[in-house]
Copies of this chain bind each other. A is one copy, B any other.
Amino acid sequence: MDLGTIVGMILTAVLLSGAMAMGVGIGPYIDVPSILIVFGGTTGALLIAFKVEQMKNFVSILKVAFNPPAHNPSDIVKKMVDYSTKARKEGILSLEADADKEENGFLKKGLSMAIDGNEPEIIRDLLETDMDLTDERHKANADIFGKIASFAGAMGMVGTLIGLVAMLLNMADPSAIGPAMAAALLTTMYGAILGNTIGGPVENILLIRNGDEILLKTLIVEGIMSIQAGDNPRTLEAKLLAFIAPSQRVSQFDK
């Protein structure tokens, strides 16, 4: 669970509703038809813009933003150094039991292919194709939130225009103008809030999490290639640690 996302959402919600409460109270800022226009209109535009399968994953994609799959590159490096040491001593076939127990699906797949004796070029091709397509799928998922940012803004503007036109046609009672215009502005406000606390930020964190996953997979591919080539475990570790931020690099051999 990533606390940042939760804390960020709560902080923004508290500040904005506090700002509303300080003035005229939260009540006037809540308008069900306006909410329907912005949220419904954005949903409608998303349904046109994306495939049904992509929209069905909406909730599970959102979950990744809040609760990312735990990837610890240092642990993976440590494990691959162990595999490498074992493979050098007892042969690569000795890793069969380890591959079966391996929890990281991508590492498991790579190890199994190496144990089955596939050509290095084929293993690399296959793992990289898998990795590239995962990357594309994740970016397409993040783009749903990018599009929320732009569609929500547009629907907010459309709602405000609908409200302004209605107001302009009913100016007989001057005292009604203020509230009518206030109501018209609410959709723009909802659009800006939806776009800038959900749309843009969630798109960004999803792209960052994808970057982390792709980096980890690149590291795993290099590791598998090294294990299969029978590289020295120290060389393998040096190669893989280059993928980790300097502050988090810990060598098993320096101890």
Contacts and interface: CB of A to CB of B under 8 A. Distances in A.
A169 B238 contact: no
A166 interface: yes
A159 B188 CA distance: 12
Interface string A114-152: 000010001001100110010011001000000100110
A5 to B, nearest CB: 5
Contacts of A196: 45, 150-151, 154-155, 158
Interface string A160-173: 01111110111100
Contact of A15 (B11, B44, B211, B246): B44
Contact of A49 (B48, B158, B201, B239): B201
- List the number of copies, as a whole number: 5
A4 B44 CA distance: 9
Interface string A29-61: 100010011001101111111111011000000
Interface stretch (A74-82, A83-91, A93-101, A179-187): A179-187
Nearest to A175: B171
Contacts of A11: 40, 43-44, 47
A64 to B, nearest CB: 13
A9 interface: yes
A22 to B, nearest CB: 6
B201 A189 contact: no
A230 interface: no
Contacts of A37: 15-16, 19
A188 B165 CA distance: 11
Contact of A2 (B51, B129, B215): B51
B47 A162 contact: no
Given A5-B48, A179-B168, A204 B158 contact: no
Nearest to A9: B48
Given A4-B51, A208-B51, A243-B129, A161 B188 contact: yes
B154 A192 contact: yes
Contact of A44 (B9, B154, B168): B9
A221 to B, nearest CB: 12
